[in-house]
Structure 1
Amino acid sequence: MTRVAIAPDSFKGTLGAAAAAEALAAGWRSVRPDDELLTVPLADGGEGTLEALGHDLPATCWRSAQVTGPDGRPVDAAWLLLPDGTAVVEMARAAGLPLMERPDPLGATTRGLGQLLAAVVADPAVHRVMLTLGGSATTDGGTGALAALGARFLDADGAPLPPGGGALSRLDRVDLAGLVPPPAGGVQCLVDVTAPLLGPLGAAVQFGPQKGADPAQVAELDAALSRLADLLGGDREAPGAGAAGGTAYGFAVCWGAEFVSGAQAVAAAAGLDEALRGAALVVTGEGQFDAQSLRGKVVGDLVERAHRAAVPVAVVAGRVVAAEGLPVTRALSLTDLAGSVDGAMGDPAHWLAVAGEHLAREWSVTT
């Protein structure tokens, strides 16, 4: 009997990581039913993190709260309580771009994220918060969320600012006296970008256009975030401070959050290193595998961990681009198996199962 760890990322746009892991496992099991398979779905700390970490947890670990969405409409936002007391919160569930009926780069708010975090920290079982920052609709420096947690962002007349990053240009004073404290175990912001808060590589310039901002609005938001930084202080140049429209910056300054690699934090929380111990092979996967995959992404972090554990790596991807010379034992393309991109994307679960069968047969021959 062979122990095999199956630890893919999501195949974005087609299949989540948990479903991808199950499909690969089903294919492998059809050829080698006696092997011990450990499914460890992974994520980069953005959308899909809850599913990756909660795929085999009981329903009691899943919680939810109704909050204000980024455009003011109510949304139901789920969060996850891990057995060790870590609350996993996806910003996209409360302030994600897909929740918007239409883009509103100046007015979109993180208020719902703060409402969700208020419910999270009120739970006595929560010791630590892991906050994933991918997929946001906002560029307000996290001020909407912090306001929902008790901070006050005031104009020159002492009135609270309206929602959205555009209003920060009128910011005159910040009052943190009523801010709800973070949990005792602290807060991690999972980031997959190295953007600072401001400037040509910052939150507004780099990501504002993705949220609907035109050039004039990008300049307005950058200036507004600069005004916020002038009043809050903190490290506006910190790599990752610009994540989620500056939400990472706001929570670092006001809640003492630390920035961590999303891929590394999810792998640690999912128990990837434990799954690799004693494994003869690890199978991972993603939408496209190429040299970029090894630079800070899910597959790259997995390859590093597998090499430290002396476990060979097989990669299954929608497309494999120039895998020669990359440090993996096998790279298998779903497009090649299906005969076309459309075929692979039309039924990814089927072709992942086929890939699992192929790898299991190859393993039987090799061993």
Structure 2
Amino acid sequence: MKFVLAPDSFKESMSAKNAALAMEKGILKVFPDAECVIVPMADGGEGTVESLVSMTNGEIIKTEVLGPLGEKRIAEYGLLGEGQTAVIEMATASGLELIRPEDRNPLLTTTYGTGQLIKHALDKGVSRILIGIGGSATNDGGAGMLQALGVSLKDENGEELDFGGGPLGQLQKIDLSGLDKRLSAVKIDVACDVTNPLIGASGASAIFGPQKGATPEMVEVLDRNLTLFANLIKQEIGKDIAGMEGAGAAGGLGAGLVAFLNAQLKKGVELVIEYTGLEERVKGADYVFTGEGSIDGQTLFGKTPYGVATIAQKYSIPVIAFAGKIGKGVEPLYDHGFNAIIGILSGVTTLAEALENGEANLAFATENVCRVLKL
């Protein structure tokens, strides 16, 4: 029998790879001769680098960058096993969790460190970059990233802009002459699961600014500055990104990546499916096992198990999903490729105990499902 094991991480309990290994352990107790194909998954957010690096026997690269407030820090990205693809989570360089709540201020925060990670990957000779842009602390439209890659953003006096969404309001000239020439030969995919435009009532500043520390007054300033940025982009390079779906992701980083780096915005799980070669791996499988920490009604909107089930459904392969918690609204999943959704807890427990015993619980739940399959 062939089992494809394609879980996401069970947050704070086990990585996607360890979850797949726990599933394998349970399967082999019942089917000792089974073929288990391990495909650690993610949805483009936290854990994407780890999943793809472990899947391809790649490596984690660490380098010094400027953090969201301009401080020096060590960030990391992944280099996949073939040596030609880099995977970057922008949050490791420019993420909200890097700043204490009382210090969060999107007028000041910058994506410069994310640009430094891209430049470091170019130095490694990559031809493809996947960038996950969730969890940002920024609202600068990707301006800092562009500066790190050689773009000059000048005010009316010809001086370089300071970092942050605030100084962006002084922008008068975008000079692309110094943009790293290597970018023209690199394919850039962006894992982006939000559809917000760059500006307006549903744009980057209004919707995401407050969670990054923006007051209502700051939101007005930030939106006005991004509007100026979008107008200059349209005027100087001929790209209209203000209303584009996903342009508002990561405080407008989505817009900057599309406008200046010719990046493609795609759903995160779809990109991970592509980069792992999941579709080819599920062919000929008897069962696909997937799962993550929580499965509920939101799973249908692009979460990892849904993406996995969609691929398996194309080949009429049964899908069994495992979860630490099964929330409300899972019933529609049974119409979208899920054959069963199994909770892994074996009894009443504290959250701390559940997280600590996640691998053992998942292995045991998988074993019991296989015992039913063996019947």
State the TM-score, normalized to the length of structure 1. Answer: 0.93
Indicate whether 1:152 and 2:152 are aligned. Answer: yes
Q: Which residue identity lines up with residue 319 of structure 1 in the other structure?
A: K
User: 1:29 maps to which residue?
Assistant: 28
User: Which moves more between the two structures, 189-198 or 82-91?
Assistant: 82-91
- Whole-Å Cα distance in 1 between the matches of residues 253 and 54 of structure 2? 27
Question: How far is the alpha carbon of 1:189 from its aligned partner?
Answer: 1.3
SS of the aligned residue for 2:13 comes to: coil
Indicate whether 1:363 and 2:363 are aligned. Answer: no
Contact 1:105–1:138 (Cα < 8 Å) also in 2: yes
1:330 to 340, 346, 349: 340
User: 2:237 maps to which residue?
Assistant: none
Contact 1:107–1:166 (Cα < 8 Å) also in 2: yes
Contact 1:115–1:149 (Cα < 8 Å) also in 2: yes
- Whole-Å Cα distance in 2 between the matches of residues 100 and 153 of structure 1? 25
CA deviation vs aligned residue, 1:87-132 (integer Å, no higher than 9, x gap): 21111121111222432221111111111111111222x1111111
Contact 2:65–2:72 (Cα < 8 Å) also in 1: yes
User: 1:80 maps to which residue?
Assistant: 78
Indicate whether 1:339 and 2:348 are aligned. Answer: yes
Q: How does 1:124-273 map to 2 (within 5 A)?
A: 124=125, 126-181=126-181, 182-233=183-234, 234-273=240-279
- Whole-Å Cα distance in 1 between the matches of residues 317 and 48 of structure 2? 25
Q: Which residue identity lines up with residue 260 of structure 2 in the other structure?
A: C
Q: Which runs of 5+ in 1 are unaligned?
A: none
Contact 1:129–1:186 (Cα < 8 Å) also in 2: yes
User: Which moves more between the two structures, 141-150 or 113-122?
Assistant: 113-122
Q: CA 1:27–1:183 in 2, change beyond 3 Å: closer, same or farther? A: farther
- Whole-Å Cα distance in 1 between the matches of residues 275 and 369 of structure 2? 27
Contact 1:338–1:351 (Cα < 8 Å) also in 2: no
Question: How far is the alpha carbon of 1:9 from its aligned partner?
Answer: 1.5
State the TM-score, normalized to the length of structure 2. Answer: 0.91
Q: CA 1:194–1:76 in 2, change beyond 3 Å: closer, same or farther? A: same
Q: CA 1:322–1:252 in 2, change beyond 3 Å: closer, same or farther? A: closer
Question: How far is the alpha carbon of 1:20 from its aligned partner?
Answer: 1.9
Percent of matched pairs sharing the same residue = 39
CA deviation vs aligned residue, 1:26-57 (integer Å, no higher than 9, x gap): 22223322211111111111121111101144
CA deviation vs aligned residue, 1:232-271 (integer Å, no higher than 9, x gap): 1222111111111111101111111111111101011112
- What is the aligned residue count? 361
Question: How far is the alpha carbon of 1:284 from its aligned partner?
Answer: 0.7
SS of the aligned residue for 1:15 comes to: coil
Q: Which residue identity lines up with residue 24 of structure 1 in the other structure?
A: M
RMSD of Structure 2 on Structure 1 (CA):
1.8
Question: How far is the alpha carbon of 1:306 from its aligned partner?
Answer: 0.7
Q: CA 1:338–1:201 in 2, change beyond 3 Å: closer, same or farther? A: farther
